[in-house]
Structure 1
Amino acid sequence: MKKEDYLPNLVDIESPLSDEELYVLSQQYNNEGDFVSVQTRFNYAWGLIKSRKVEDQQLGVQILAQVYKDTPSRRRECLYYLAIGSYKLGEYTDARKYCDLLLQIEPDDPQSAKLRQIIEDKLAKEGMIGIAIVGGVIAVGAAVLGAVLSQKKR
């Protein structure tokens, strides 16, 4: 099997945990109190990022950002899921930033390269939509201005 066959599939992130599974992670996180282990924080954040709820995804990104700061040995995993979490939240610039940091650590990682391409494709699509919206607004504005000017001539 190729290396990428062992890596988490990006499609997997789109399938959220069941409410029961997320509840188990939440309970474990809450039960550890002031001494939540790095693994528990990471697992809970991972589950939150997989959620369909924006609030959960935001909390997941916050927890992962803290794990990233606190635990250098988990940075690779954190960057990957921070990129995915940011992507899911529509924060594509942040997603790209995290992915670029990840690619600095592992420039030949096919998983990171694929994620980077997905982010770039989304940014390009969003850019085209933005251009279309601006173009539409300009066209409507020109039409309104033309109508107003033609009314004044009468």
Structure 2
Amino acid sequence: MDYLLEETVPMADLKKFESKYNDEIQTQGRASSTAQFEYAWCLVRSKYSADIRKGILLLEDLFKNRDESAKQDYLYYLAIGNARIKEYQTSLKYIRALLQIQPGNRQATDLEGVVKKKMERDGLVGMAVVGGATLAFGALVGVGIALAKSK
């Protein structure tokens, strides 16, 4: 299930759906829900965080203003997008909202497990970095004191 957060969209797909989205805006003044969703779906699977954030904004707009029948899809990809930019709490919020609507949704349950595991892993890495920085700072202070005493 980790692949969901690591899968990236082929650039050709991103360009194709971006073009479709922009064409609809130019010709109709607004993109259809389908075009906006397809483009957002590609963006949240991009390797660039700016693209992912743009995809999240498009999905949030769809969720608030568009097709009621597709809200579960919007929630799911909002959860994926937020997890990919390490906004784990927000991702879990969307997963829980989806599970409220569909308590037996296996994909959402699996994604929740992946996000929690990532949170734990990133938290441990964060603690290791802080611990390493503290150790390095302590070593520098020790060297500074030793140099000061030697003079």
Quick check: TM above 0.5? yes
Q: Distance in 1 between matches of 2:139 and 2:123?
A: 24
Q: With structure 1 as the length reference, what TM-score do the two structures score?
A: 0.82
Q: Distance in 1 between matches of 2:85 and 2:127?
A: 21
The match for 2:124 is: 128
Deviations 1:128-147 (Å, cap 9, x if unpaired)?
01111111122122222233
Q: Distance in 2 between matches of 1:123 and 1:69?
A: 27
Q: Does 1:30 align with 2:22?
A: yes
Q: Secondary structure at the match of 1:16?
A: coil
Structure 2 CA distance for partners of 1:57 and 1:148, relative to 1, 3 Å: same
Moved more, 69-78 or 110-119: 69-78
Which residue, out of 62, 87, 94, partners 1:98? 94
Displacement of 1:117: 0.6
Structure 2 CA distance for partners of 1:153 and 1:65, relative to 1, 3 Å: same
Which residue, out of 46, 52, 60, partners 1:51? 46
Moved more, 130-139 or 117-126: 130-139
Deviations 1:7-46 (Å, cap 9, x if unpaired)?
xx77367141341x32221222112222321111111111
Q: Distance in 1 between matches of 2:147 and 2:15?
A: 64
Q: Secondary structure at the match of 1:35?
A: coil
Q: Distance in 1 between matches of 2:56 and 2:77?
A: 8
Structure 2 CA distance for partners of 1:147 and 1:42, relative to 1, 3 Å: same
Structure 2 CA distance for partners of 1:26 and 1:148, relative to 1, 3 Å: closer
Overall identity of the aligned pairs, in % = 31
- Give ranges in structure 2 of 5+ residues lacking alignment: none
Q: Distance in 2 between matches of 1:135 and 1:18?
A: 39
- Give ranges in structure 1 of 5+ residues lacking alignment: 1-8
Equivalenced residue count is 145
Moved more, 45-54 or 72-81: 45-54
One-letter code aligned to 2:136: V
Moved more, 48-57 or 73-82: 48-57
Structure 2 CA distance for partners of 1:12 and 1:18, relative to 1, 3 Å: farther
Q: Secondary structure at the match of 1:148?
A: helix
Q: With structure 2 as the length reference, what TM-score do the two structures score?
A: 0.83
